Amino acid sequence: MSLTKKIKEFALDIGYSKVGIIPADSFSDYLADISNRSEMYSFFLKGASRAADPRSQMPTAKSIITTVYDYSQKNFPQELTDKIARIYQARCYNAPPDRIHGARPQLLRRFLENAGCEVGIGTIVPERIAAAKAGIVNFGRNNFAYANGIGSFIYLTSFLVDQELEYDAPTLEVGCPEGCRACIKACPTQAIYEPQKLNPLRCIAYNNFFRQDEMPGGSFVPYDIREKIGTKIHGCDICQEVCPRNRKKVTAQKADDEYLTQIAKDYTLTNFLHMTDDFYQTRVQPLMHNYIKHKKYFQRNAAIALGNLADPAAIPDLALAMADTEELVREYAAWALGKIGSNPAKQVLEVSLASEVSPAVQREITAALLAM
């Protein structure tokens, strides 16, 4: 049996749904596309140029083995899905090696090494394009990659190896029904501005992960985006949920994920808002360890969600948040109180303004009071 066939059979045996292989050539079209839209992608230009050139990361690389993992094999609890995108609930996104979804790539890596391959460490490639070039996905107009028979709730992982293997034929086309624009219409922030063109700065996922102090633009979430975020704390699946190509998967009868079922009740917005170290370690990090490294951003996101719900029952919690030690949390709690409105919210804002020392929070309180 050829090495290519052995690799593919092993990958399928350990739970990947699809596996394809391409030469480790550069992804120059991908880099050109990102560079041409640098005003939207300034935060990612360095990463994109690294990802686009596999041999700059591993000079001996000859092939890219790319895999699809179907992370939607079990049910996701609705109370989590309202707040957290499915890929994070599934715990497969860059999972650490001591977790089940981190062990799978380690198993494939070990298999490749035992078969005599050098395997790149810490390498990155543009996963969706690599998988389409390898014929295991095609594209949706929402920019996501779709695997036949599965849909877009998939996690893609690639491995660079120093062996020439047998290569697959590409499927770089859009696989959507003609005329469908459901994802573009459903996107609350108009982040998909034309088919297959996303402005990440308007995407809810970008706004709840990447708006952090050290990023371009800092931690400020634009006002028009805040109002569209709804209750999303980490990621957004809306443009995948509405997609007819995912309908079968979304509506299928599946077993519950018992781990998620057990922990789901803890994921209240108020638990996020008053984030304790224990909640952060035992509830947030197992699911959402990748992008947000400080709990204050989750607290900010929870304040935005509570503001969008506009439920006066949240006023006492937001009043408590107005005394949080983090300026960022107080700013967004003030915004949320302004969104909720009512005399009790106004009183909290007025009392807070009298003792607030941060100019940024004072500005947010004043704006909230003026808007009431």
d(CA 349, CA 370): 11
Six-digit token pair at 220? 């400020």
- Decide if residue 191 touches ligand SF4 (CB under 6 A): yes
Non-local (6+) Cβ contacts of 202 within 8 A are 189, 190, 191, 225
- Please report, for residues 96, 111, 215, 230, the alpha-carbon distance to residue 51 in angstroms, rounded to integers and kept in the order given: 21, 24, 20, 33
Which CB, 103 or 182, lies closer to ligand SF4? 182
- Please report, for residues 98, 130, 297, the alpha-carbon distance to residue 337 in angstroms, rounded to integers and kept in the order given: 42, 46, 18
Least Å distance, CB 270 to ligand SF4, is: 24
CB 126 within 8 A of CB 161: no
Q: Which of 11, 238, 315, 365 forms a contact with ligand SF4 (CB under 6 A)?
A: 238
Which CB, 122 or 177, lies closer to ligand SF4? 177
- Decide if residue 187 touches ligand SF4 (CB under 6 A): yes
Kind and range of the H or E run holding 325: none
Which CB, 11 or 242, lies closer to ligand SF4? 242
Torsion angle (degrees, nearest 10) of CA 71, 76, 78, 81: -30
Which CB, 141 or 226, lies closer to ligand SF4? 141
- Decide if residue 211 touches ligand SF4 (CB under 6 A): no
Least Å distance, CB 330 to ligand SF4, is: 26
Q: Which of residues 243-282 bind ligand SF4 (CB under 6 A)?
A: 243-245
Least Å distance, CB 213 to ligand SF4, is: 22
Kind and range of the H or E run holding 20: strand 18-23
- Decide if residue 367 touches ligand SF4 (CB under 6 A): no
- Decide if residue 52 touches ligand SF4 (CB under 6 A): no
Q: Which of 34, 80, 108, 183 forms a contact with ligand SF4 (CB under 6 A)?
A: 183
Six-digit token pair at 227? 């109002």
- Decide if residue 181 touches ligand SF4 (CB under 6 A): yes
Residue 252's Cβ-count burial label (10 Å; 0-12, 13-18, 19+) is exposed
- Decide if residue 292 touches ligand SF4 (CB under 6 A): no
d(CA 26, CA 350): 58
Six-digit token pair at 239? 């443009």
- Decide if residue 192 touches ligand SF4 (CB under 6 A): yes
d(CA 8, CA 26): 23
Q: Which stretch binds ligand SF4 (CB under 6 A): 91-99, 116-124, 176-184, 252-260?
A: 176-184
- Decide if residue 182 touches ligand SF4 (CB under 6 A): yes
Least Å distance, CB 124 to ligand SF4, is: 21
Q: Which stretch binds ligand SF4 (CB under 6 A): 101-109, 175-183, 271-279, 284-292?
A: 175-183
∠ Cα 164 47 20 (to 5°): 30
d(CA 270, CA 31): 41
- Decide if residue 189 touches ligand SF4 (CB under 6 A): yes
Q: Which stretch binds ligand SF4 (CB under 6 A): 9-17, 184-192, 280-288, 337-345?
A: 184-192
Contact string 133-152 vs ligand SF4 (x = CB under 6 A): -------xxx----------
- Catalog residues that contact ligand SF4 under the rule CB under 6 A: 140-142, 176-177, 180-183, 187, 189, 191-192, 198, 203-205, 236, 238-239, 242-245
